[in-house]
Amino acid sequence: MKLIDFNNKAYEYNKLEKEVLDFWDKNKFFEPEYKDERDETFTIILPPPNANSPLHLGTMSGNTIQDILGRYNRMNGKKVLLLPGKDHAAIQTEVVFEKVLQKRGIRKRDLKREEFYNLCYEFCMENAKIAREQEKNIGLSADYSREKFTLDENITKIVYETFKKMFEEDGLVYRGKRIINWCVRCQTALSDIDTEYQEEDSKLYYIKYGELTVATTRPETKMADVALAVNPKDKRYRHLIGKVIDIDSIEGKRSLPVLGDSSVDINFGTGVLKVTPGHSKEDFRLGEKYNLPIIMVIDTNGKMTFEKYKGMKVKEAREKVVEDLDKMGLLEKVSDIKHNIQVCERCKSVIEPLVSYQWFVKTKELARSLIDEGEKGNPKIYPKRQEKNYLRFLENIEDWCISRQQWWGQRIPAYYCGGKITKINESGDITEEILGCGNIFVSIDKPKECPRCKSKKIVQDEDIFDTWFSSTQWPFSSLGGINGKDFKEFYPTNVMETGRDILFFWVARMGIMGLYVTEKIPFKTVYLHGLVLDKDGKKQSKSRGNGIDPKDMIDKYGRDALRLSLVSSVAPDQDFRLFEEKIKGYRNFINKVYNSSRLIFMMLEKNKNSLPSIKNSYGAYSTKTSINISREMTDHVKKINRLFKNYEIGLVAFELQNFYHHIFCDIYLEAIKPHQDDPKALGEILYVFYQNILLLHPFIPFITEHIFQDLKRLGYIDTENETMDYEIYPKL
């Protein structure tokens, strides 16, 4: 690294930042072993970004916050590990990559599973490379020698081991018949997070059920009804609860029991609900509660299985059913209704709730001990108010469907002796039969035979794991699992910094899986950040065209400026607006840092020969000026450390800038200028300046590293450290 050329009046960030970047890249400063003698560790497992696209600003903002915490702790004598990784993001990537293939004129169904997997793997590796460059480019001081990908062999092995232990030892995983969100187009089960709601105009049909009338938007599922339900508080129907009523229907005469359940909304429609456990989530729950049978009339292609409408698509069947009901005199009336329909987040197809055989984790039992810990404040969550949400989620947690009918991901290591057959019988009941000796077993390596009957005819489950099943094990799998060397040294981690939108899906379940596998909660502190919005408060996205290109901003304003813009005025869990003028403002601040350094270096150089005592007076506040810099510094340093303790990163950034610009430069430097030929004053300037540069370093490490290198080279500071990250942060 060359000395800063102080002939330039403006800071040449691009050139100078690149020098720093190269310097860091060539050395191993960010590997914890660099200072192996340090005892106390500080670990952050960085949330692995999806390997299907370059990083967006939200991820970069998170990276910057984590880097600031990493550097701050490094400067506080800790052995710091920031562990980077990339996530395969199962279904999301699969859909993205399908579109990429489409552009190349290839259809997924024309490829073999393995071919698809390999092409997708290549695609992800390319994107991971871009993301890695971006991370380094904003100065993320992570240890890339330890970087992981969620589909790395050793990671998958740990995920498989967990699954085996859950299934075979503890019975916490089961294969069950439950209702799931089914995407007809993607042909897969989806978790709630993979779906969203869209408002749609539709019809509400009032249909006669014997003496009662039911209002429904889904008449085509009526052949799968197994009961009716009313609210016990509803005076109109209270007398019918517990009775069985006879009805006429398309499928003939039937008898349906009438249930009383408080979940029924008295004010919706007629206040009578038809219970269809095969095709509605709420009804499935009622079915479980009252032990009702399950009937299905729609298959995984979104087509009817009921004989009369066999093969028809749902919408088509709906019209036909309504027509038939009308003919039978069972249709009372039709009204318009706006309602939200659940659609696949990726392809926007309508979700068909249906019952199928899937793998589930019994999360309720596992959540119990995490709730106990949570009530004791473990982990500590910033902002604190999210603790309530976190606990409530855990208390209401449902069994977790972890199987997906996709190709991109970790294939479930479950095997069926002789294979299996799933079918829906005449009465619409779904059944599954395991062939061979009926054994289902889990094996981490590819098995040669059934361990029970020794049959060689064994078939692996076609499904893959939900991406969250692997990512919730990331805090320990990325450290090599419970027997890993890194695990022993760095687990549990100190901080989990992530978007507040995945508190439930990721953070809470990481707690569950971590506690189950390692008997420890994987992190001591959770820090949740908000979303990055544009100037008008809208979410930044490519499709809106309001997204800021990080590379563009780096070229225009530099890395340090971008970093500041990503963390300044950021409060935990609070969305913040980012726009170009803001970044420009931070560029001006960086320039201020540069020019004040230029002034100080000039003053020092000018008096170089008359400064034998500089190191003696170093650290002393000796000059009388209009400002009491000693007290100002004391207060400032106290404040900064206090804010750091409370993870008020945005406020720290703000205070640092404010102090440096308006106290240090505008007042102090101006006041001390007249004394600049006094060696004692110069010692003081140097000391105050360096303290400030140290304080700023975690936030704007490029320019401060450069200044540090120059101060060291010119002999103004006395240090053995090769990089500023190992200097000691000002404390009182």
Output the CA angle 574-576-578, nearest 5 degrees: 165
The answer to whether 335 contacts RNA (rule: CB under 7 A) is no
Residues 656-715 that bind RNA (CB under 7 A): 658, 661-662, 665-666, 669-670, 673
Provide, for the chain, the percentages of residues in helix, strand and coil under a 3-state DSSP scheme, each rounded to the nearest 5: 45, 20, 35
CA distance 93 to 126: 13
Binding range to RNA, per CB under 7 A, among 111-119, 129-137, 250-258, 383-391: 383-391
Closest CA to 374 of 529, 510, 497: 510
How far lies 122's CA from each of 65, 116, 599, 656, in Å? 30, 10, 51, 44
How far lies 297's CA from each of 188, 357, 358, in Å? 18, 16, 19
- CB-nearer residue toward RNA: 213 or 455: 213
- CB-nearer residue toward RNA: 286 or 366: 286
Report the residue from 15, 99, 333, 388 that binds RNA according to the rule CB under 7 A: 388
Report the residue from 121, 206, 654, 726 that binds RNA according to the rule CB under 7 A: 654
The answer to whether 630 contacts RNA (rule: CB under 7 A) is no
Min separation Cβ 4 and RNA, Å? 12
The answer to whether 251 contacts RNA (rule: CB under 7 A) is no
Min separation Cβ 532 and RNA, Å? 10
- The residues with which 488 forms a beta bridge, in sequence order, are none
Taking a C-beta distance cutoff of 8 angstroms, is the pair 229, 201 a contact? no
CA distance 444 to 162: 10
The structure tokens listed for 603 are 């003053």
- CB-nearer residue toward RNA: 416 or 589: 589
The answer to whether 273 contacts RNA (rule: CB under 7 A) is yes
Which amino acid, residue 77?
G
Is residue 336 packed enough to be buried (19+ CB in 10 Å), middle (13-18) or exposed (0-12)? exposed
Report the residue from 50, 52, 66, 342 that binds RNA according to the rule CB under 7 A: 342
Min separation Cβ 663 and RNA, Å? 10
| 3-state class (DSSP) for residue 603 | helix
Min separation Cβ 669 and RNA, Å? 5
For tokens 């701050």, the residue is: 72
Largest separation between any pair of C-alpha atoms in the chain: 108
CA distance 617 to 367: 59
Report the residue from 18, 254, 281, 524 that binds RNA according to the rule CB under 7 A: 281
- CB-nearer residue toward RNA: 87 or 194: 194
Residues 59-98 that bind RNA (CB under 7 A): none
Taking a C-beta distance cutoff of 8 angstroms, is the pair 467, 409 a contact? yes
Half-sphere exposure of 390 (CA within 13 A, CB side): 30
The structure tokens listed for 75 are 């400067």
Binding track over 570-609 against RNA, x by CB under 7 A: -x--xxxx---xx--x-xx-xxx--xx-xx--x-------
Report the residue from 651, 682, 703, 724 that binds RNA according to the rule CB under 7 A: 651
The answer to whether 334 contacts RNA (rule: CB under 7 A) is no
Report the residue from 19, 251, 282, 316 that binds RNA according to the rule CB under 7 A: 282
The structure tokens listed for 178 are 């439950």
Min separation Cβ 400 and RNA, Å? 12
For tokens 């990325």, the residue is: 478
Residues 219-238 that bind RNA (CB under 7 A): 229
The answer to whether 385 contacts RNA (rule: CB under 7 A) is yes
Taking a C-beta distance cutoff of 8 angstroms, is the pair 480, 487 a contact? yes
| Interface with RNA (CB under 7 A) | 9-11, 192-193, 197, 214-218, 229, 264-265, 267-269, 271, 273-274, 276, 280-282, 339-340, 342, 385, 388-389, 393, 396, 501, 504, 533, 535, 537, 569, 571, 574-577, 581-582, 585, 587-588, 590-592, 595-596, 598-599, 602, 651, 654, 658, 661-662, 665-666, 669-670, 673
